[in-house]
Amino acid sequence: MIDLRERRDGDDERIAFVVRRAFAGEDEVKLIADLRADGDMLLEVVAEREGAGIVGHVAFSRLSVRSIDRELRAAALAPLAVLPTHQRQGIGQALVQDGLRRLQALNVELIVVLGDPAYYARFGFSALLARLLQAPYSGDGFQALELQPGALGKRAWDATYPPAFSKMS
């Protein structure tokens, strides 16, 4: 049984453990800490398994997406982590789907991610759609998903990530 819930006070040490083990390093642990400290974190969801505690985590941060006369309510998905011993059991997928549902309820219109298209295409993320965004990232790994269909229209947009992302090595 997996329970998906929002991050609570007291979760952070265990979240850092899960993220450190999933990425085998500190960069993503620091990214999460910086996003929280800067007030740029929009949503964090954890996956809890009975007897094992938190085994997965996903973070969504604020993202500025502007065109000449409009600003979208947007978020960046990063990072997504599942404890190696619990991978390939659908936990990553459940975390992303739950996060997207919660963000839709918050009227978020657009999500972007930088990751493997082979993984993120299943949620509807598209590199083609992300080409409408002028951003620090590009290529097939940079993908976008409209939670409000047609949110991007056909115009060009500037996407600006929170400062914590520029501190990533």
Contact residues: ligand COA, CB under 6 A: 22-23, 78-82, 87-93, 115-116, 118-119
- Count CB neighbours of 121 within 10 A: 12
d(CA 59, CA 35): 9
Nearest Cα residue to 157 out of 146, 141, 169: 146
End-to-end CA distance of the chain: 36
What one-letter code names the amino acid at 130?
Answer: A
**Cα 107 from chain centroid (whole Å):** 16
Q: Which two tokens stand for residue 93?
A: 């997928």
Cβ closer to ligand COA: 17 or 119?
119
For residue 79, the minimal CB distance to ligand COA (Å) is 4
Cβ closer to ligand COA: 121 or 156?
121
Cβ closer to ligand COA: 81 or 151?
81
d(CA 136, CA 159): 8
Cβ closer to ligand COA: 29 or 108?
29
Cβ closer to ligand COA: 73 or 141?
141
For residue 87, the minimal CB distance to ligand COA (Å) is 3
Instruction: DSSP letter for 127, please.
Output: H
